Amino acid sequence: MAATVLIVDDAMFMRRMLADILQKGGYEIAGEGASGKEAVDKYGQLKPDLVTMDIIMPDMSGIEAVKEIKKHDPKARILIVSAMGQQALVMEAIQAGALDYVVKPFQPSRVLEAIERILKR
């Protein structure tokens, strides 16, 4: 069975693109969220195998969302997908429990590789 992914990004543009990439890569899209708050809520409902998480979002940042999700499910697998120029925040997210990160703009293969790596852990 295909692994399920929750895509979190405040830009629909990014969510659509990530969804296309992941579906082509053989993953199933469990759901989408447009804020940190939605990420936490949907994670609880959908229990996806993996989350792709943006950092800068309205209504709770990606970092807060990582912390919150990890609090409820320490095994949660989260990949940060964030725009360039936020290295410090990416590091903070990794410290909070995210497993890896990809910087926008990304190559589709780079996203798929990162996800594969995380799921193999």
Partner 1 sequence: MDISKYLDLFISETKEHIKLLNDSLLSLEKAPDNPEAVNQVFRSFHTVKGMAATMGYDSLANLAHRAEDVLSEVRKGTLRISPAIIDYCLAVADFFEHSIETLKAGRDLPPVQGLLDKADGILRGEDVAGAVRERLVQDVDEIKIKMLRLDHLVNLINEFILARNRLMRIQARIRDADLTEMLEHLSRLIDEQSDEVMMMRMLPLSHVFDFFPRWVRDESRRLNKDVEFVIEGGDIEIDRSIIDDLQDPVLHLLRNALDHGIDVKGCIKLVAHRERDFVTISVEDNGKGIELGQLREAALKRGIVKPSLLEKMTDHDVLQLIFRPNFSTRQIVTGLSGRGVGMNAVKKAVEDMRGEIKIETAKGQGTKFTITLPVRMATIKVMVFRLGDELYCLPLVNVIETFNVSEDEILKVHHREMVIFRNENLPVIRLKVVLGLPGNGVRRHAAIVAMLPSEKRAILVDNIVAQEELIVKPLDPLVKNRLFGGVSIYSDGRPSLILEPRGLE
| 23 sits near partner 1 (criterion: CB under 8 A) | no
Instruction: State the sign of the Cα–Cα–Cα–Cα dihedral 8, 69, 88, 121.
Output: negative
| 88 sits near partner 1 (criterion: CB under 8 A) | no
Show the site string, 37-56: x = touches partner 1 by CB under 8 A, - = not.
Answer: -------------------x
Q: 51 near 77, Cβ under 8 Å?
A: yes
Cis peptide before 48 (omega within 30 of 0): no
Residue type, 82: S
Q: Which of 22, 50, 53, 57 binds partner 1 (CB under 8 A)?
A: 57
| 91 sits near partner 1 (criterion: CB under 8 A) | no
Q: Whose Cβ is closer to partner 1: residue 1's or residue 84's? A: 84
**Least CB distance to partner 1 at residue 74 (A):** 29
Contact stretch for partner 1 (CB under 8 A) within 38-46, 72-80, 91-99, 103-111: 103-111
Q: Whose Cβ is closer to partner 1: residue 9's or residue 49's? A: 9
Closest CA to 23 of 49, 45, 2, 40: 2
Give the separation between CA 55 and CA 1, rounded to whole angstroms: 29
DSSP one-letter code for 10:
S
Q: Whose Cβ is closer to partner 1: residue 62's or residue 76's? A: 62
Residue type, 73: D
